[in-house]
Structure formats: C-alpha cells, structure tokens
Amino acid sequence: MGDAQNSGNPGEPVDVAVIGAGLVGLAVARGLARAGREVLVLEAETAMGTATSSRNSEVIHAGIYYPPGSLKAVFCVAGKKRLYAYCQSRGIAHSRIGKLLVATEAAEIASLERLFERAGKNGVHDLRWLTGDEARSMEPALRCVAAILSPSTGIIDSHALMLAYRGELEAAGGVIAFGARVAGGAVTQSGIRLRVEQDGPMALLCKTVVNCAGLGAQPLAASIAGLPPASIPPLHFAKGNYFGLGGRAPFRHLIYPMPGGGGAGVHLTLDLAGRARFGPDVEWVSIIDYAVDPRRADGFYAAIRRYWPALPDEALVPDYSGVRPKLYDNPNGDADFVIQGEETHGVPGLVNLYGIESPGLTSSLAIADYVARLVMDFNHRQTPRDRLSFLLDQDDEKSGYTLGS
C-alpha cells in the first residue's frame, strides 16, 4: 500500500476492504475474492485470529439454542453443514464427537424439553431424547435425570480452519495487510475513505468496506464520519474463563448443562487430542483482560459437580479466557447477530457486522455467503429474508423450518 499523506490525495483505490482477519473476516474475504472481487484484508495485529477466533471452545454447534428465524439459528444450521463438508474436502482436523445436553434435576426437564422443541423448529432433527439411565449407559460418570444427544455437534482445529480460509483467499488474489490499524474513515461521494496506520499513515479509498472487527466493530464504526451513530448497537464485554483438567476426563462426548446467565453454562469440551477443559463462565468486564483468576475455580467446581460429582479436588488448573462481544448486559438477554448494509444505515458500500460471538465459528461460511450476496446485490433487489432463504435453499436440513417474520 502506498503512502497517501498528501491531503490532496483522496487515497489509494481499493475495491473491497475487509477489516479484521478473524475467522469470520477471513471467511468473508475468501468468499468475496472467489466471487471475483479484489479484496484487501486489514488486520491491526501481526497475526490472524488473535482475539475471539482463537479463544473459544472450538465447537461446531448443531443449532439448538437460538430463537427460530434468528440469524444465529439460520447461520448455525446452514453453516454447520457447509463447515463439515469444507473440512472433509480440505482435510481439516475435526471430529463429529457429539454432545449430551443434560438436566441434572427434575426442575430442569421442562427447559430441556423446550430446547428439544426449539431445535426442531430450527431444522435440527437428529436429536435423541435420553432418560437418565440411557445417558449414563453412554457416559457412566455422568449425573443427570434426562439428556438430549446431539450427534451433529463436533469439534475442530480453528487455527487450521483459518489457515485454509487464508490460503484460498490468497489463491483467489486476495491480500492480508498485517499491522494495519484502521484509525478512522469518512463517507465520501467517491467511496469510503479509510485512514490506516501501518509503518506510517496512509489513506485508502474503498468501493466496499466490510467491518468484521469483532470486539472492535463498534468503535471502528463510530470512527467513520457520515455513518449515523444511532445505527451502532451498544457493546458489552462478556469474559469467558476456561479451566483445564489435570488428567483425562471419563467422557467421550461433550457435556453441556442447561444454559443461563448469558452463556451456555460451564460445559465440558474435549479437544482433538482428548484433553478436557471446562468453561466458559460469564464475567462482565469493562476492559479486555485475558488473565484467568484462579479464585474463580470455586464456582467451576460447584457447576461441574452438578453433572460430574466425582470431579477430584485440586483437579482444575487455569487455562485461558476469551471475551465475547455482547449486544446486551442482561444475564438473561438473547441478542442476535447484527449485519447492516446500506438498507439499514444508508451508507453505500458499507457492511457492519456486530455481536458476532458463538456460533460465529460454526456459522462462518454461511455468514460469508450472506455478506457476499449483500455486497454483490448492486441493484438492492434482495431483502434480508431473500438472503436467508437462499441459505436454507442450499441446506438439506431445512425440512420443517419456517423463517420468522
């Protein structure tokens, strides 16, 4: 990228600038490059996926939790199918390990039943209801009174996935500029002018800008003069801490308790090497800090022993944490993904993605398809409902699914 410090220079011309080289940003950039656009990815850090994309459970979700008709529901179910096919065709390490979603007491059975019903409305029809005895026959160390088996839940090597997205982006002519921080921008008659810091200031004049900055999406949007501030949703940081297990867990499936408190509960996940970790919890914070406080282990022991009573004392060790970009600060809130184009904020060529948390990894290819159709729809003939319908039309699991109004 050339130097454009001269105030008379509107900026170096760019077709598409994707801001953020996390999983979703890379998927979006890959999709647009393969559709024939010239794509430049601007990443403030010196490596890809250093924030949310590398600080999660690495789970391929089935699509159980999300309100029917929501972006999360549609993207998760459609994205899951795409992601499994993608991993199989590219040799990306993954495992369809399956998950048990458990009710640990009778009072939770009604919640479990509601999730079973919701999953069906979302097009997830492979769930199996289990009695407590049936669940324990699969996992003898488990304590529960009922469970749902989700056979299409899996685990994945998220770094390998990002490498694959990057490779295909670059093979299609796309470029990633690392250490390129977007310091602000402005809407002009000629396009969106971005001020970028990378070994000195420069300016880019972009036909299209896709804001995939994750935790920085709202501040970035607020720095673009000409974007209506009222279009930017609030941002709240929900830190999720993880603890590892000192030894092997006696489980072959992922184990999830009933969700609550702004998350899916302190669940047990296994990585591809069979190592167990627990989390995330939900810790509302005002600044991003990835240190794990060992004192939080007390809450983890209590939560885990509800479904694994035999968890030994002193077995948990602090592992890592991640911060999720929440659009609410209510523990009982349920915010959807937000993807805004010109039809929402009135700025031609600008697409903003907000609140892309779980199931963002699972949804990444579906989100990329949706954004590509939004960007490539020059005549604005498609509604958001049209773009969602396209995703469902490509999905074998759509039977029984109806889009919300």
pLDDT, mean of residues 281-286: 94
Q: Which CATH architecture has domain 12-54+159-233+335-393?
A: 3-Layer(bba) Sandwich (3.50)
Report the range of poorest mean pLDDT among 6-20, 307-321, 358-372: 6-20
The better pLDDT of the pair 391, 346 is held by 346
Report the range of poorest mean pLDDT among 15-19, 26-30, 252-256, 372-376: 372-376
Share of the chain above pLDDT 70, in %: 92
Q: What is the pLDDT of residue 383?
A: 76
Report the range of poorest mean pLDDT among 11-15, 150-154, 164-168, 332-336: 332-336
pLDDT, mean of residues 304-328: 95
pLDDT at 61 over 80: yes
The residue extents of the domains of the chain are 12-54+159-233+335-393, 99-151+236-326
Contact (Cβ atoms closer than 8 angstroms) between residue 326 and residue 355: yes
Report the range of poorest mean pLDDT among 116-130, 210-224, 263-277, 354-368: 263-277
Q: What is the pLDDT of residue 402?
A: 38
pLDDT at 265 over 90: no
In the DSSP assignment, the letter for residue 351 is E
Kindly report, residue by residue over 319-378, the tens digit of the pLDDT.
Answer: 999 999 999 876 666 789 999 999 999 999 999 999 999 999 999 999 999 999 999 986
**CATH assignment of 99-151+236-326?**
3.30.9.10
Where do the DSSP E strands lie in 21-90? Answer: 39-43, 59-60
Give the DSSP H/E element, type plus range, for residue 68: none
Cβ atoms < 10 Å from Cβ of 275: 14
Contact (Cβ atoms closer than 8 angstroms) between residue 210 and residue 194: no
